[in-house]
Amino acid sequence: MSEYAPTPINKNQKELQLRKKLSEHEKQLNSQILIGKVVGTRKSDRKKNDPPKPTDRPTVLVQFGINDDDDAKIRNWLGWTSSRAGCDAELWMPEINEQVVIVAPNGNIGLGLIIGALYRGNSLQFKEEESYKKEVAEIKSMPNEKNLCNKHIRCYHDGSELHYDKKNHIFTFFLKNKPEAVNPRLKIEADAKNSKGLVNLLIGEDKTDQLSIKANSQELVISHTKSTKTKLVVNFRKGDIAIYADNKISLKANEVHIDAGTKMKINNKGVDVRK
Three-class HEC string of 123-145: ECCCCCCCCCCCCCCCCCECCCH
Please, how many CA atoms are within 13 Å of residue 166, restricted to the half-sphere of its CB?
Answer: 6
- Pick the more confident residue, 100 or 261: 100
Q: What's residue 135's pLDDT?
A: 47
The CB-based long-range contact list for 121-126 (8 Å cut-off, 24+ gap) reads 124/153, 124/155, 125/155, 126/97
State residue 235's pLDDT score: 67
Query: Does the pLDDT of residue 137 top 50, yes or no?
Result: no
Give the angle 9-28-115 at the CA atoms, nearest 5°. 165
Task: Identify each DSSP E strand in 65-197 by its residue range.
Answer: 74-80, 99-103, 113-117, 151-155, 161-165, 170-175, 186-191
Per-residue confidence at 61, pLDDT binned at 50, 70, 90? very high
pTM of the model: 0.61
Average pLDDT, the chain: 79
Of residues 142 and 139, which shows the higher confidence score? 142
Q: What's the mean pLDDT in 202-231?
A: 81
Confidence grade of residue 38 (pLDDT, cut at 50, 70, 90): very high
Helix, strand, coil percent values for the chain (each to nearest 5): 15, 25, 60
Judged against a pLDDT cut of 50, whether residue 193 lies above it is answered with yes
The proportion of the chain whose per-residue pLDDT surpasses 70, expressed as a percent, equals 77
State phi, psi for 125 to the nearest 5 degrees. Answer: -130, 175
Which whole-number Å values give the CA distances from 148 to 23, 144, 167, in the listed order?
43, 6, 11
- Give the Cα separation of 24 and 27 in Å (integer): 5
CA distance to 8, 226, 228, 249, per residue, from 252 (Å)? 108, 18, 15, 10
